[in-house]
Amino acid sequence: MKRIVSILIIGIFLFNSPLVVYGNMSELDFYEAFEDHGSVMIITDMETGDIIYANKAASRFYGYTKEELKSMKIKALNVLTTETAKEIIEQIENEEKHRFVVDHKLANGEIRTVDICLYPYNIDGKIVLIEIVNDITDKTRFKNIDKILINILIGMLILLLDISYLIFKNLKKLKIQNHEIKNFNELRKTFTDANHNSVFLKDEGF
């Protein structure tokens, strides 16, 4: 796991930052690898939840200075319940899952939906949690809008079907009524003609 995380960290750093040549990668300062990276990165003490490092991108995203972030616990940023937070830690420790979609709170109180990748790492005998944060709020909103539009269209379709059924039902009823009126008119005409013929025969003396 440590090797995988190391490869992930170095890969992200190399592919997303200006190319820098190091004489010896083993001497690469762990924190300097994150400092100027464009991705939001936070490192926390896995046991206490204390934020022990945050890069410049994290400071810009959350609206806190780096010093303020390092004086906080990670629970000050997320809006997870204690139970949910414990479940996430258990999944990470058991290597069941490392990627989660949660809500994070910014300094101005705004709630942002983020996709986070969490990986435990050993630094000088201390287990820390490396957190790479990707803001997906807009993408989530678009998905929600799509769902709303789909629900509206479905509702309109159901309404049109109901209206069509009522129109069909009324037309059928109207057709029956017209047929009854037609039969009544024909019967009345027959009766009138029969009565007229009866009067005619009487006048003729038959």
Domain ranges of the chain: 2-135, 139-206
- Confidence band for 17, pLDDT divided at 50, 70 and 90: very low
pLDDT tens digits for range 76-133: 999 888 888 889 888 988 888 889 999 999 999 999 999 999 988 888 788 889 999 9
CA contacts within 13 A on the Cβ side of 174: 6
In this predicted structure, what is the pLDDT of residue 110?
Answer: 94
Element at 131 (helix H, strand E):
strand 126-135
Distance from C-alpha of 106 to C-alpha of 101, rounded to nearest angstrom: 16
Distance from C-alpha of 176 to C-alpha of 42, rounded to nearest angstrom: 76
Average model confidence (pLDDT) across the chain: 76
Task: Annotate 14-49 with three-state secondary structure.
Answer: HHHCCCCCCCCHHHCCCCHHHHCCCCEEEEEECCCC
Q: Average the pLDDT over each of 8-12, 97-101, 142-146 and give the range with the smallest value.
A: 8-12
CATH architecture for segment(s) 2-135: 2-Layer Sandwich (3.30)
Whether pTM > 0.85 for this model: the answer is no
- Confidence band for 14, pLDDT divided at 50, 70 and 90: very low
Cβ–Cβ contacts within 10 Å for residue 56, how many? 15
In this predicted structure, what is the pLDDT of residue 133?
Answer: 94
- Most confident range, picked from 22-36, 88-102, 155-169: 88-102
In this predicted structure, what is the pLDDT of residue 103?
Answer: 93
pLDDT tens digits for range 57-83: 999 999 999 999 999 999 999 988 888
